[in-house]
């Protein structure tokens, strides 16, 4: 793991942007993208840049079950408003949280990932060590699946909703098996509430109880963390 320590999320977003820019210079075509507050500084840096993404593809990690693209809490809405509306891509994929048949939607999304192998995957991390919506206990081999969100995740994400009852209980998530097939991974974490997860990811055993610990087995990972997120590291 290449661990880069930064002052704050703003500087972290700039570092991640540099990695993306370097990838673009080498002909990278397909990006795996993430939602959450963590990548916001990366996306605003991309929007402010003069880089052209109009021949690039993006494949997002996850989506809440039951939320449509025009729901302002959906991850499709987040991606459109934070990035795609301002920086057009050739094609963008996000799982369909409103699909009538969720199992069929998982299969369709696996095909999307197979058709568009991810060159650079951007990741945040949950307080419990989840990546995408792969919660603790999820098999490392899994592909796209329906997830029952844990209490920890629902509580962490409720800040974006009016009340906790509004937070969807289920999501569709790209699996860890697919994430690990990406050629390069960039994981960002900012803030003290991520410190335990970051410690487990970097220094702990590789265990399905802390999904991000699998990154220790990937040979091209850039971890970008601020001092607060790094505060529990040895
Ligand atoms: C959500 C997303 C993850 C994200 C995590 C952390 O549960 N599914 O992809 O990494 O939360 O979110 P944040 O960046 O807002 O802390």
Centre of ligand 1 from the C-alpha of residue 35, in Å: 6
Answer whether residue 234 is part of any domain: no
Q: What is the CATH number of the domain that holds 166?
A: 3.40.50.1360
Answer whether residue 162 is part of any domain: yes
Quick check: CB of 61 below 6 Å from ligand 1?
yes
Answer whether residue 231 is part of any domain: no
Answer whether residue 200 is part of any domain: yes
Q: Which are the catalytic amino acids?
A: 62, 128, 130, 135
Whether 211 and 136 have beta carbons less than 8 Å apart is answered as: yes
Residue 117 confidence (pLDDT)? 98
Answer whether residue 30 is part of any domain: yes
Q: How many domains are contained in the chain?
A: 1
229: tokens are: 């997120």
Quick check: CB of 62 below 6 Å from ligand 1?
yes
**Residue 50 CB neighbour total at 10 angstroms:** 4
Q: pLDDT digit of tens for each residue in the chain (234 aa)?
A: 999 999 999 999 999 999 999 999 999 999 999 999 999 999 999 999 999 999 999 999 999 999 999 999 999 999 999 999 999 999 999 999 999 999 999 999 999 999 999 999 999 999 999 999 999 999 999 999 999 999 989 999 999 999 999 999 999 999 999 999 999 999 999 999 999 999 999 999 999 999 999 999 999 999 999 999 999 999
Boundaries of domain holding 158: 2-226
Centre of ligand 1 from the C-alpha of residue 126, in Å: 5
Answer whether residue 13 is part of any domain: yes
Residue 208 confidence (pLDDT)? 98
Whether 228 and 192 have beta carbons less than 8 Å apart is answered as: yes
Q: How far is 137 from 85, CA to CA, in rounded Å?
A: 36
Answer whether residue 207 is part of any domain: yes
Instruction: Tell me which H or E stretch contains 146.
Output: strand 145-148
How do residues 37-66 score in pLDDT, each as one tens digit? 999 999 999 999 999 999 999 999 999 999
Quick check: CB of 42 below 6 Å from ligand 1?
no
**Residue 46 CB neighbour total at 10 angstroms:** 21
The whole model's pTM is what? 0.96
Residue 56 confidence (pLDDT)? 98
């Amino acid at each position: 793991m290449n661990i880069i320590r930064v002052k704050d999320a703003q500087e972290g977003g700039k570092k991640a942007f540099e990695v993306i820019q370097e990838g673009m210079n080498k002909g990278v075509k397909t990006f795996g993208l993430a939602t959450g507050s963590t990548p916001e500084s990366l996306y605003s840096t991309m929007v402010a840049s003069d880089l052209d993404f109009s021949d690039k593809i993006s494949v997002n990690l996850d989506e809440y079950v039951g939320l449509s693209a025009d729901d302002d809490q959906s991850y499709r809405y987040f991606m459109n408003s934070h990035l795609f509306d301002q920086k057009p891509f050739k094609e963008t994929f996000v799982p369909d949280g409103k699909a009538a048949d969720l199992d069929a939607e998982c299969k369709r999304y696996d095909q999307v990932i197979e058709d568009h192998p991810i060159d650079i995957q951007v990741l945040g991390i949950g307080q419990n060590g989840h990546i995408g919506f792969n919660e603790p206990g999820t098999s490392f081999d899994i592909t796209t699946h329906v997830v029952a969100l844990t209490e920890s995740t629902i509580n962490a994400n409720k800040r974006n909703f009016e009340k906790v009852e509004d937070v969807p209980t289920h999501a569709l998530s790209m699996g860890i098996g697919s994430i690990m097939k990406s050629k390069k991974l960039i994981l960002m974490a900012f803030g003290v509430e991520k410190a335990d997860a970051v410690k487990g990811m970097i220094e702990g055993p590789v265990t399905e109880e802390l999904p991000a610990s699998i990154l220790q087995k990937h040979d091209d990972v850039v971890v970008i963390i601020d001092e607060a997120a790094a505060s529990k590291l040895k």
